[in-house]
Amino acid sequence: MRSNGPVGLWLIGAGGTLATTAVVGARAIVRGLADRTGLVSDAPEFAALGLPALDRLRFGGHDIRAVNLAAAARTIARENGSIREEWVGQLEPDLAAVDSEIRPGQAQGSGGAIEAIADSTHVVAANSARACVDEFSGQLRSFVQRHALEGLAVVNVASTEPPPTDPELLADLDRLDRALDAEPATAFRPGLLYAYAAMQAGAAFVNFTASPSCLCGAIEQLAKRKRVPYMGNDGKTGETLVKSGLAPMFRARRLEVMSWVGYNILGNRDGMVLADGDNKRSKIATKDSVLSNILGQPVRTRVGIDFVESLGDSKVAWDYIHFRGFLGHPMAMQFTWQGCDSILAAPLVLDLARFALLALERGESGAMTHLASFFKNPLQSNDHDLYRQLAKLHAYAATAT
Amino acid sequence: MRSNGPVGLWLIGAGGTLATTAVVGARAIVRGLADRTGLVSDAPEFAALGLPALDRLRFGGHDIRAVNLAAAARTIARENGSIREEWVGQLEPDLAAVDSEIRPGQAQGSGGAIEAIADSTHVVAANSARACVDEFSGQLRSFVQRHALEGLAVVNVASTEPPPTDPELLADLDRLDRALDAEPATAFRPGLLYAYAAMQAGAAFVNFTASPSCLCGAIEQLAKRKRVPYMGNDGKTGETLVKSGLAPMFRARRLEVMSWVGYNILGNRDGMVLADGDNKRSKIATKDSVLSNILGQPVRTRVGIDFVESLGDSKVAWDYIHFRGFLGHPMAMQFTWQGCDSILAAPLVLDLARFALLALERGESGAMTHLASFFKNPLQSNDHDLYRQLAKLHAYAATAT
Amino acid sequence: MRSNGPVGLWLIGAGGTLATTAVVGARAIVRGLADRTGLVSDAPEFAALGLPALDRLRFGGHDIRAVNLAAAARTIARENGSIREEWVGQLEPDLAAVDSEIRPGQAQGSGGAIEAIADSTHVVAANSARACVDEFSGQLRSFVQRHALEGLAVVNVASTEPPPTDPELLADLDRLDRALDAEPATAFRPGLLYAYAAMQAGAAFVNFTASPSCLCGAIEQLAKRKRVPYMGNDGKTGETLVKSGLAPMFRARRLEVMSWVGYNILGNRDGMVLADGDNKRSKIATKDSVLSNILGQPVRTRVGIDFVESLGDSKVAWDYIHFRGFLGHPMAMQFTWQGCDSILAAPLVLDLARFALLALERGESGAMTHLASFFKNPLQSNDHDLYRQLAKLHAYAATAT
Amino acid sequence: MRSNGPVGLWLIGAGGTLATTAVVGARAIVRGLADRTGLVSDAPEFAALGLPALDRLRFGGHDIRAVNLAAAARTIARENGSIREEWVGQLEPDLAAVDSEIRPGQAQGSGGAIEAIADSTHVVAANSARACVDEFSGQLRSFVQRHALEGLAVVNVASTEPPPTDPELLADLDRLDRALDAEPATAFRPGLLYAYAAMQAGAAFVNFTASPSCLCGAIEQLAKRKRVPYMGNDGKTGETLVKSGLAPMFRARRLEVMSWVGYNILGNRDGMVLADGDNKRSKIATKDSVLSNILGQPVRTRVGIDFVESLGDSKVAWDYIHFRGFLGHPMAMQFTWQGCDSILAAPLVLDLARFALLALERGESGAMTHLASFFKNPLQSNDHDLYRQLAKLHAYAATAT
């Protein structure tokens, strides 16, 4: 018999627009204020799986700035319109309860663009990397105990970090452990510390960002040792989602894509951070690997990203696909995707938490490759075709039921 | 052991741009002048099936105008650029051989727009419907004998006809047979007569157009009686192809499509015929059924088609997709598809002929539902999702091998 | 010396989204809540003209439904986001004052689509056409007296009516006068009655809609007799604005536009009314005349309009421009315009009222051709080039100062 | 009385796609093979000006690769379709005559991307800068004498060079003269040497590229001394043309453009050269200055350029315009421009040559500011509004006639 007790969702970057939208959205649904559009985990194919209901979720998290979710939600309502002002009033006690579960995070090491937005009075005090990890880990355990949680999923929704400064260090757990003991916290990308802490606390871990340090080789070894499930990288929410859904059509018809170039503009904090060259590199790497994989042929690709402040949380992508058909004749398709970043991402965060908590409950560990369809750059998955990825998820659902 | 003798492809509308492109293309590939881009049947999944090679195909057909394929190909080369002028010279003897296998067709009854482009000296003389069918059928049998063909596929690539004037008459074979005996040929849409003749001659029949008379209930009964395979309707070449490949993405992510409207402009003869309201009705009916089927929810759709002569054989479609995501937030996607009509359709005609000839050889009869992915409105198929349709084709290939 | 007393703006269709946005916007600006973006009359070129300031405007109008501007504004705020909820509270007394100046209108004769949305308890009682005109006229005079207005402009912002049933009747004032005496009000399009009443009351009249009855020949004769200024037809707010601003570029570079087709989708009441074929005819006629005028060459045009309810007050237009350049080479441009109908139109209504009130004050009468740039189909103007139209407005400003 | 003798057009980059298209186009028009679409100088406004007819033009030029115009034209015909193969046969003698007037150019100093495509056997031998200039200048004078030309225009259509290495050196003619005497040719951007040579030979000079060295301060001083007319920089052919034609519409309606971002992809040699960061810098600088000038307000702009080889000479630009209207409401417009680079530019090269030759004949000297509408970054012009620029050209025509 399935249990029905509370389960936890701990968000790295808990005060950001995405986390705010996920928390407000989950509570608005539970309170009957909003409908459930956009929740993949609600599909009939997963009905028999016993995924945890949204009302079982308890929220907490880390952030590098003081968090007031109601205030953040009101700002989103006013500037973006994606949360309704009237909901915030009705959810005020729920949101205040989450606020009390937010702990200071680690900003140093995440690149200048992120460091610039950190609030120095709201970052973790620990100097040594090991102490920092242990502090994070302790906070997770304490969260579990305080709410008698039956499971905990940690989802990283912070801004994208630059690639690691010393990739080799992250390839091996023993070496990493020695470095954590010897070095200050600032010698590491914070994403690495959060991931380590999550696994140390027995939580499932999901890297919804492109930050490459989170699920490096050493962390995967740690997950194996701790027998916890994990998955990443980089939620597939917009332009890349469309690519992975559209490229299979070209392949199926044996139309030869010669060039597929895309240009993304966005105006939220994520976009501002990506305007920084270092952080952008991490992002473009994950966005650009999709097409050649699906099409199985050389294709000229380009992914441009620019910060256009007036767009706020809106995200506009233009893609141009230049292809050859029968007798080599050139043709073209172009699309413009006009999405709202946090609205596209928030339900996936809830979906991933539900699937991760189920995996944890079922004692599954290692990379949750059945969740590949949720990621731009899915770990241990060699197929970017959205429909083949979904077929794997449905197969998991069929056997797991 | 598979045979390697010649097989026939008989094209209704043999002198049109689509048929010309298919014939020139097939011969250009066989002669090593052009590559095989765009041929679905070439995919590795079908390698073991033993589909007939292109060099086994012998071409003939019906048309309501005198046909000179080399001249038609040169016009296409000059106006559209999709056939290369230099190929035509090298293929001259091949094309002249096909010209000699084109027989007069039937224009009366296909609607004013088609009748207007018919050449009165190049339409069949037979007055009674039965005589007309018998004449067509005799021409097919004679074509088979003349070339010692091991099988024959008839593919209708003529312009779209209006809906039948008396749909009930077409629901029952006995009733149709009586009417064919009693009425003049002009009382029927020509597509019906071609389809009847094809089956009477033991050929496989594919309706690549939207003409609804071709594969009516009576004709399906005839196919059963004659034990021949058939499939239709309306080749899925452009905007509808994209719809059927893109809509599953929205469904998979549980994004609620509120409205999906499309506007098509094209400038070839097909477009001119569709500018006629009667013929347009047939076309829009097949184009518009796709989305609600895939999305499984009510969705406001519109499909506009206009004739824009300057486009020639180019076809431009703009689609606007208005959808709701998490918390009901509205977002939008739009795409522009700029294809060349005959270049998109021609390889599918060859693909369908190859699959139909294989089915005939294997003694399969009835609707070839494994070919649903090729059609806007696939017969006896209740799934418009491109990827589920392809899965069926792959399953057929796996079991048939 | 310029006077500074109150002036009147009387809106036909006073409770609609456009009128509500114009009234709320004007009051929000006067109260310092909103900025003045989008007001053409604010341009420095017109600074010396002495246009009436927005705080001099008093609002009233006719409508065929009971009007509550605050409630209408709140609906717009919630559904469309183009008015801010917080403004409505602060403007409540202002809006209530306007509500008290709204009088029942005439619905019969405006076509089934408009009649269907009329509230039978809120339409004028007068049976004869003459009585109806006199009643409207009396309401205007009473409005002027009640507020001691120094001038009155009547602007028609109601939904588009079908073409007149008897165009010849509208060509001559004497004939029209006899018919007004003899026939019931329902024998005429309401727009005609409003225009007649406006001029009879000495008001300036602006037809912001495409309704062709309003400024027919007979009404132009009446304007001459009454010495009042007037202008129309059909505010140039979106797709047509872009056309008239972009086509001059093609002409200047002697690029030959072969085809320019557009497809418009919109979801507000205006769009619903246009979904009715009769009303649509009036609209498309004014939209389609622009291009050939500017380009000075034959060009294939098409203007499609569809009602897509989910768009609400948003309006999306896609235009495809197919043109030939040097050596006859074909090229293409396409654009998508995503505007908010009432937000684009409302400032123009205020601009036109200000210019019309100035003309009245200056004793100008007849067609205000210097306002051609504001209209899709400007009266007595043979130039649709936006920049040449603007040059005329600037010339007027220069000489009138 | 106007003379009717031959006049010269000397092209820097004479073997490139643009120059080939201009020469083939002019000769095709003169021979009656092609029509005159796209020639601005043909507009009726200029009929009375006495611009030199196309049949008076004699062609020559410099290039850094051996030039065979017929072969180049055939390649364009095959790969791009913008020149018709059949014309090339008929123009063969004309093109061979031009080939014989092409002289080796200077590649060193134009940046690695351009140097890489130079043919070392086809670059000028002169080592010192002064000798190089004198050699170029002598070639121009010899061209004039050989054909008894009544005037000569030199138009630079070579690929864009990087900014000058020592901008201060180019600010003063005396300083430049000393440097030309002292330094090797490779110390300067070749564009500078060509411009100097042109003026020294008494030719009019037009910089159709973005290369900033060509019309530096020192060269402008030289033009004054030599009393020759000149103009630049960077032909306004595509995306920037649209911007300068469309932005005035936003200003006229007082719509506040918040962001206007553009993304350009192209596949010709010009695009390949621009893929090099150094050369790109010159280009983006001229493309980006247009909008703030026209809109007269701060606006966030971005201009991205990427090389997409499969496009060949096609050029696709996508622009997204995010603007605020009445009450601050955000709206958007986007456009896609699909042009053929050389087809858009070639007629302007002929137009500019005709206007420059007229100016020379009329004894005008200095910057031809009446030609501002032809340039992305017009010299000594502070107005980028296409229509105001055109008004200046029309005013010149009116007074010059």
Rounded-to-integer distance, Cα B187 and Cα B169, Å: 11
Q: How close is the nearest chain C Cα to the Cα of A107, in Å?
A: 36
Does D332 sit within 8 Å of C333, measured CB to CB?
no
Q: How close is the nearest chain C Cα to the Cα of A351, in Å?
A: 27
- List the single best residue of B320, B335, B337 to mutate versus C (max C Cβ within 10 A): B320
B251 and B304 both lie in a single domain: yes
Query: Is the pLDDT higher at D286 or at C95?
Result: C95
* Percent of all residues in chain A with a pLDDT value above 70, rounded to a whole number: 95
Which two tokens mark B152? Answer: 């024959």
Which two tokens mark C318? Answer: 């896609």
C354 and C309 both lie in a single domain: no
Give B81's contacts in chain D (Cβ within 8 Å): 81
C261 and C180 both lie in a single domain: no
Q: Band of the pLDDT at C240, cuts 50, 70, 90? A: very high
Rounded-to-integer distance, Cα D349 and Cα B264, Å: 37
Split into its structural domains, chain B has a count of 2
Whether residue C308 is contained in a domain is answered as yes
D35 and D123 both lie in a single domain: yes
Q: Band of the pLDDT at D59, cuts 50, 70, 90? A: very high
Chains touching B (3+ CB pairs < 8 Å): A, C, D
Q: What is the pLDDT of residues A228-250, one digit of tens each?
A: 999 999 999 989 999 999 999 99
Give C308's contacts in chain B (Cβ within 8 Å): 259, 261, 300, 302, 322
Which two tokens mark D96? Answer: 């061979």
Does A85 sit within 8 Å of C81, measured CB to CB?
no
Residue A400 has pLDDT above 70, yes or no: yes
Strands A204-207 and A229-232: what pairing? parallel
Whether residue C1 is contained in a domain is answered as no
Whether residue D1 is contained in a domain is answered as no
- Span between the terminal Cα atoms of chain D, in Å: 13
Which two tokens mark A256? Answer: 């030869």
CA triple C46-C52-C57, angle to 5 deg: 140
Q: Which of A261, A252, A396 is nearest to A334 (CA)?
A: A261
Examine the fold and report which residue of D340, D362, D392 is the final residue of a domain before the chain moves on. Answer: D340
Residue D350 has pLDDT above 90, yes or no: yes
Mean pLDDT rounded to a whole number for chain C: 92
Examine the fold and report which residue of C298, C324, C340 is the final residue of a domain before the chain moves on. Answer: C340
Asked if residues B388 and A252 have their Cβ atoms less than 8 Å apart, the reply is no
Residue of A nearest to D265 (CA): A261
Q: How close is the nearest chain C Cα to the Cα of A149, in Å?
A: 39
Q: Which helix (H) or strand (E) holds A205?
A: strand A204-207
Which residues are CB-neighbours of C178 under 8 A, at least 6 positions away? Answer: none
Does B259 sit within 8 Å of C310, measured CB to CB?
yes
Q: What is the pLDDT of residues D123-179, one digit of tens each?
A: 787 789 999 999 999 999 999 999 999 999 999 999 889 888 888 889 999 999 999
Structural domain containing residue C318: 239-340
Q: Band of the pLDDT at D41, cuts 50, 70, 90? A: very high
Does C334 sit within 8 Å of D325, measured CB to CB?
no
Whether residue D2 is contained in a domain is answered as no
Residue C1 has pLDDT above 50, yes or no: no
D151 and D243 both lie in a single domain: no
CA triple B53-B57-B60, angle to 5 deg: 160
Whether residue A2 is contained in a domain is answered as no
Does C316 sit within 8 Å of B318, measured CB to CB?
no
Q: What is the pLDDT of residues A164-211, one digit of tens each?
A: 888 888 999 999 999 999 999 999 999 999 999 999 999 999 999 999
- pLDDT averages per 10-residue partition of chain B, 401 residues: 84 96 98 96 94 97 94 93 93 97 88 80 83 96 97 95 88 95 92 96 96 92 96 93 95 96 87 69 66 87 89 94 97 97 97 98 96 95 93 92 69
CATH number at residue C173: 3.40.50.720
Rounded-to-integer distance, Cα C40 and Cα C374, Å: 10
Q: What is the pLDDT of residues C327-362, one digit of tens each?
A: 999 999 999 999 999 999 999 999 999 999 999 999
Rounded-to-integer distance, Cα A267 and Cα A310, Å: 6
Whether residue A163 is contained in a domain is answered as yes
Which residues does A contribute to its contact with C (CB < 8 Å)? 81, 85, 336
Whether residue B1 is contained in a domain is answered as no
CA distances from A263 to A299, D265, D306 (A): 16, 11, 11
Mean pLDDT rounded to a whole number for chain A: 92
Chains touching A (3+ CB pairs < 8 Å): B, C, D
Examine the fold and report which residue of B296, B317, B340 is the final residue of a domain before the chain moves on. Answer: B340
* Percent of all residues in chain C with a pLDDT value above 70, rounded to a whole number: 95
Q: What is the pLDDT of residues C265-308, one digit of tens each?
A: 998 877 777 766 666 666 666 555 788 889 988 888 888 889 99
| CA D173 distance to own-chain centroid | 23
Q: How close is the nearest chain D Cα to the Cα of B279, in Å?
A: 32
Of B311, B316, B322, the CB nearest to C308: B322
Q: What is the pLDDT of residues C161-216, one digit of tens each?
A: 988 888 888 999 999 999 999 999 999 999 999 999 999 999 999 999 999 899 99
Mean pLDDT rounded to a whole number for chain D: 92
Whether residue B131 is contained in a domain is answered as yes
Q: How close is the nearest chain D Cα to the Cα of B314, in Å?
A: 14
CATH number at residue A312: 3.30.360.10
A337 and A381 both lie in a single domain: no
D210 and D85 both lie in a single domain: yes
Q: What is the pLDDT of residue D1?
A: 44
A32 and A153 both lie in a single domain: yes
Which two tokens mark D366? Answer: 């200095």
Q: What is the pLDDT of residue B372?
A: 97
| CA D232 distance to own-chain centroid | 7
Q: What is the pLDDT of residues A271-320, one digit of tens each?
A: 777 766 666 666 666 565 788 889 988 888 888 889 999 999 899 999 99
Residue A160 has pLDDT above 90, yes or no: no
Of C25, C241, C373, the CB nearest to D326: C25
* Percent of all residues in chain D with a pLDDT value above 90, rounded to a whole number: 76
A357 and A324 both lie in a single domain: no
| Range C24-45 burial, b when 16+ CB lie within 10 A, else e | bbbbbbbeebbeebbbbbbbeb
Asked if residues B150 and B4 have their Cβ atoms less than 8 Å apart, the reply is no
Rounded-to-integer distance, Cα C196 and Cα B348, Å: 64
Does A241 sit within 8 Å of B328, measured CB to CB?
no
Tell me the three state secondary structure of residue C340: strand
C333 and C348 both lie in a single domain: no
Q: Tell me which DSSP letter residue C371 carries.
A: G
A147 and A198 both lie in a single domain: yes
A72 and A126 both lie in a single domain: yes
Any idea which residue has 């507000």 for tokens?
Answer: C268
Q: What is the pLDDT of residue C165?
A: 84
Q: Which helix (H) or strand (E) holds A331?
A: strand A330-340
